[in-house]
Structure 1
């Protein structure tokens, strides 16, 4: 979804290597399990597009990269794949840091490209707020 876009936006800035350690694109459930050690039972219980999975992705990305912060997104860009409780346009954005992991559920009903742009912007906004205000 927006994972590659997040890394692309960061690395387009000169000096990005001073703050960007790694990026993980774990699109399939098995990739989430294999690359970031997400518990398969968590995915089975809550679904890949869920707050617990978003939190786990961010926490494990932070651990794997040995970074101060890690962002994670998981969502349904559409046009298919939505459910009654998680329609197309649903996304969870998580930020893992040294003291806590926070996550938020957002809804961006739009075309795929717009959805990805909005998802990436929401992830950066979560990180920006944390860095500026600590909240």
Structure 2
């Protein structure tokens, strides 16, 4: 894997851990701090990080493929990632020891981290200019 891509994945992982700590603090403040919520957050976060890594692997493979094969491959991998998310949400809905809300927050944590990093980087670039 390309070193820049690996560094980006590691940065997002670190950001997700920080995001989860902030969410846990919010759970403590709002009295939603319970075992199913914590387990759901951890489970959702792990799946989200693995899903993000799967996306990175897909992107790395697609850039070397011809256009038609790349479209089919990327679409099939997209469907696979969405099926994984669907199964995870279904499992969390059926399992009494997992909170669906905690799992959902964990699943979207990479998105929030990437958006927050983008906003912070843009803000810093504007101050420098």
Taking structure 1 as the reference length, what is the TM-score of the superposition?
Answer: 0.32
Answer with 1 or 2: which has the greater Rg. Answer: 2
Task: Select the structure with the greater relative contact order (CA < 8 A; seq sep ≥ 6).
Answer: 2
Q: Which has the higher helix share?
A: 2
Q: Which has the higher strand share?
A: 1
